[in-house]
Amino acid sequence: MVNKIASSIAEALAGVQDGATVLIGGFGTSGIPGELIDGLIAQGAKELTVVNNNAGNADYGLAALLKAGRVRKIICSFPRQVDSHVFDELYRTGKIELELVPQGNLAERMRAAGAGIGAFFCPTAFGTELAKGKETREIGGRQYVLEYPIHGDVALIKAEAGDRWGNLVYRKAARNFGPVMAAAAKHTVATVYEIKELGELDPEAVVTPGIYVSKIVKIPRVATQAGGFKKAA
C-alpha cells in the first residue's frame, strides 16, 4: 500500500543529512513552509545549501535557520529585503556563501533537474555580471548562456491539500515554486491543511502528481500572515 502520510514533521524529516541541498518553497508571504523549516531546525542537519527565492525575513523561518548557523550556502534571486538582517549580517561577515540567480533561471534550473535535462541555453542575463565565466552560444541569431540544473536532496513545500498517494493542490499564489521543487528533489515533504481520501481531489485539478512527493504532513490551518513586503512608490 502506498501511504505517504507522515504522522509528524520529525518523522518526515528524519533522513535529512548534513551537507544536503534543501529546496524551500515560498515567495514573499505565500507558500512558505514555516512548520517544515522549524522542523529542520529541530532536526539538526547542518552545512546545508538552501535554495529559496529570498534569504529569510525577520527572525523566523529561513532567517532562524540561517541564524542557527546551519546554512553554508544560499542560492536565491533576491536576498536583500527590508527585514533580511540575519542574512545581511552573515553575508557581510563572510559566514555564508551566496549564489545570486535570476528568478526565472532559478525556477528553470530546478525544472531541468526534475525533468532530467543536463543543461540548457537560456537568453536571460547574457552580457551581464551574472553570466560572467559561463559558456555562451549564438543560436538563430540570438545569444544564450549555458545553465545547469539545480538538484535538491530535499524539498520542503507548502500545499493546501493532499492524499495518501502524495497528490497535491495549492492555494492561490502560494503555489509559486512548490511544483517545480517537488520534482527537483529526491525527497519532497509537503505540509497540507487537509488530507483527502483517494479520488476526492479532482484528477483534472491535481497540480503536483504524487510521484514527485515523498511525505505529506497535516498541519493546523493558520491564515497566512502579512510581512516582508516592500512599499509601493
Partner 1 sequence: MSMAYQKRTKDRLAARIAQDIHDGAYVNLGIGMPTAVANHIPAGREVILQSENGILGMGPAPAAGQEDYDLINAGKQPVTLQPGGAYFHHADSFAMMRGGHLDICVLGAFQVSARGDLANWSTGEPGAIPAVGGAMDLAIGAKQTWVMMDLLTKKGESKIVERCTYPLTGIACVKRIYTELCTLECTPQGLKLVDLVDGLGHAELERLINLPIAA
Q: 109 or 215, CB closer to partner 1?
A: 109
Q: 43 or 103, CB closer to partner 1?
A: 103
> Taking CB under 8 A as the rule, does residue 221 contact partner 1?
no
With CB under 8 A as the contact rule, the residue among 19, 44, 123, 199 that binds partner 1 is 123
The answer to whether 43 and 20 have CB atoms below 8 angstroms apart is no
Minimum CB distance to partner 1, residue 20 (Å): 22
| CA gap 100, 110 in Å, rounded | 14
State in Å, rounded, how far the first CA of the chain is from the last one. Answer: 55
Question: 122 — phi, psi (to 5°)?
Answer: -130, 135
The three grid cell numbers given for residue 125, joined into one nine-digit string = 542575463
> Taking CB under 8 A as the rule, does residue 90 contact partner 1?
no
Give me the torsion for CA of 187, 147, 177, 39, rounded to 10°: 40
> Taking CB under 8 A as the criterion, which residues in 178-207 touch partner 1?
178-180, 207
> Taking CB under 8 A as the rule, does residue 102 contact partner 1?
yes
With CB under 8 A as the contact rule, the residue among 170, 210, 212, 214 that binds partner 1 is 170
> Taking CB under 8 A as the rule, does residue 224 contact partner 1?
yes
| CA gap 100, 129 in Å, rounded | 10
Minimum CB distance to partner 1, residue 163 (Å): 20
